[in-house]
Amino acid sequence: MSHDARSALLMVSMEPPASLEEEFNDWYDTEHFPQRLALPGFVSASRWTCVEGWPRWMALYDLASLDALDSDAYRSVSGSQSTPWSKRLLPRTVGRSRVVAVALDGHAEAQQDPDTVSRLVAMSVPLSVGAASAESIVAAVREALAAREDLLQLRGFVEDDETVWIFVAFDSPATSALAAQIGRPCGCGIRTFNIYVPYRRSSY
């Protein structure tokens, strides 16, 4: 066990072939998503559809701590212990990524209710030795967006002490023009900049 008391986040992104999209969402909605949310240490979860960026499907899980990913319960449904349906679908997805990051301030506020969100922006900024701290980068992004009346929430997380991830929720249809508004926080380049809408089965 890691015994890291900081709250954490798990972000998983992927895209199935178009011919499997319907079944992929069946699997996610009826098996995978409920299974993950029922695990100890999984506090809340949401699904998102990428409208600017790639890949198309993303799931965001709030974790009580990193220990949630080191539990016997998690291992019993992951990797070689995955369900037959998971083993059939996952190898056929593309662009699969898994981000595990800890809350910058130790205890992140719960993710915004997707029903209140119009757009969610996920951005990553690489951290380098001697450059700006994760705290400074998040503060710079917050300052750049402070005047926006549609800003609902901004959360910062750090992945492996190498990347800061910032998740920003808006209640209006924010666009990629946001990237220009944010610029280079503390002189650092933004590596990932994806914009999502809340997943709704009927919306695609």
Distance CA 36, CA 51 (A): 25
Coil, helix or strand at residue 53: coil
Distance CA 89, CA 24 (A): 7
For residues 23-43, average pLDDT: 96
Report pLDDT digits (tens) over 137-181. 999 999 999 999 999 999 999 999 999 999 999 999 999 999 999
pLDDT of residue 62: 97
- How many domains, the chain? 2
DSSP structure class, residue 64: S
Q: What DSSP string runs through 112-175?
A: PPGGG-SEEEEEEEE--TTS--HHHHHHHHHHHHTT-TTEEEEEEEEETTTEEEEEEEESS---
Does the pLDDT of residue 1 top 90, yes or no?
Answer: no
Same domain, 143 and 194: yes
Q: Which of 119-123, 128-132, 173-177 has the highest mean pLDDT?
A: 119-123
Does the pLDDT of residue 190 top 60, yes or no?
Answer: yes
Same domain, 16 and 80: yes
Residue 118 forms part of a structural domain: yes
pLDDT of residue 202: 65
Same domain, 125 and 82: no
pTM: 0.94
- Residue the block writes with tokens 């083993």: 87
Residue 3 forms part of a structural domain: no
pLDDT of residue 120: 98
pLDDT of residue 204: 44
The CATH number for 137's domain is: 3.30.70.100
Q: Which range among 32-46, 55-69, 104-118, 183-197 shows the weakest confidence by mean pLDDT?
A: 104-118
Burial 179-197 (b: 16+ CB within 10 A, else e): eeebeebbebebebbbbbb
Report pLDDT digits (tens) over 103-117. 998 888 999 999 999
pLDDT of residue 137: 98
| Closest C-alpha to 48, from 92, 23, 11 | 11
Same domain, 13 and 87: yes
Q: Band of the pLDDT at 93, cuts 50, 70, 90?
A: very high
Dig out the tokens for 137 from the structure: 């980068």
Terminal Cα-to-Cα distance of the chain (whole angstroms): 40
Same domain, 162 and 84: no
Which domain covers residue 188, as residue numbers?
114-199
